[in-house]
Amino acid sequence: MNTDAHAHSSAPGLFDPFGRRFEYLRLSVTDACNFKCVYCLPGGFRPVPGAAAPLDASEIEHLLTGFAALGVFKVRLTGGEPTVRKDIVDLVARAAAVPGIRRVALSTNGYRLDTLAGPLADAGLSQLNVSVDHLDPVGFAEVTGKALLHRVIGGIDTALARGLTVKVNVVRLGGLNDDAVDAFFDWVRDTPVAVRFIELMETADSRAFFARHHRPMDALRRRLAADGWVTRPRAAGDGPAEEFTHPNAAGRIGLIAPYAPGFCEGCNRLRVTARGALRLCLFGRGEHDLRPLLDGTHAPEVLAREVLRAVSLKPAGHRLQAADAGDTVHLAAVGG
């Protein structure tokens, strides 16, 4: 029996008007980041004067309890860079302890993984997503603004040794990391990571950059087919990647192609910003403020009702193909 599927088959469902079920929450715990990735924060993170502090640990616990009551069983802590928070290990432990939450993941740039991988695993983390946009130190520094590739790779090795599942996110950047594709294919031959190539997405402040560096995924898809990679079946709670396996590879290759037809049809995730605003789509418009319901004076059912009301307004899909990125200024602001 698939115990994961069985465990949530009787849970209350969180559905939108298009019949999509939401069991996966991406929760930003900070919009701060110490990297300067050219496709996200090329000028580095700049605090917004007068902005409220991110959700604290207690608010996060209340938030996850409410979502779990609706059948959400997977949570991913994102940013910004979530490990800039000094309490990140405690946040993972609290998330893992919420009844109904059975999978806790973390997205990170990996700069603290060498020391954090063990404590995070002990706290209940089951999966890591690490951004690595180049496997050459010079190329990595050009994309991220940090000469830290050796440290990030060392952290991934430590995470694997601790038994964590590791996925590596590679944003496809024409003219910046085309020459790294072969190295990533070589890496997964002997390393049990899932390398996911992500199509560059346009945001409100990146239109010129997008025009220069966007590349469709067609060539990669053709290469996978020609080299004998086969599609891996999706599992409950999986994100948007189409993953491929090969009999001679220890790892996997994935493609995330948001401009492909039908990309939004399998949407199963919602996003909450670092200050408690529910976003129905990464590239949508408007937010639903949940923070007033997270102070401990409201029952989880109150939050659940507000989430249900908001999700009833979710659109069928984004409008990226029409060059409409909604009101997303940059990905760090909403948890990517």
CATH of 13-333, one of 3.40.1400.10, 3.40.920.10, 3.30.465.10, 3.20.20.70: 3.20.20.70
pLDDT for residue 234: 81
Give me the tens of pLDDT residue by residue for the chain, a chain 336 residues long. Answer: 333 433 333 445 899 888 889 999 999 999 999 999 999 889 899 888 888 999 999 999 999 999 999 999 999 999 999 999 999 999 999 999 999 999 999 999 999 999 999 999 999 999 999 999 999 999 999 999 999 999 999 999 999 999 999 999 999 999 999 999 999 999 999 999 999 999 998 877 778 899 999 999 999 999 999 999 999 988 776 777 899 999 999 999 999 988 777 667 778 889 999 999 999 877 666 689 999 999 999 998 999 999 999 998 887 665 555 454 555 555 555 555
Cα–Cα distance between 177 and 161 in angstroms, integer?
Answer: 28
pLDDT for residue 203: 78
Cα–Cα distance between 42 and 137 in angstroms, integer?
Answer: 18
Cα–Cα distance between 257 and 189 in angstroms, integer?
Answer: 23
Q: Domains of the chain: which residue ranges?
A: 13-333
Whether the full predicted model's pTM is greater than 0.85, yes or no, is yes
Give the list of residues 6+ apart from residue 287 with CB closer than 8 angstroms, or none.
273, 277, 278, 279
Cα–Cα distance between 323 and 318 in angstroms, integer?
Answer: 10
- DSSP per-residue codes, 72-111: --EEEEESS-GGGSTTHHHHHHHHHHSTT--EEEEEE--T
Give the list of residues 6+ apart from residue 298 with CB closer than 8 angstroms, or none.
62
pLDDT for residue 240: 78
pLDDT for residue 235: 76
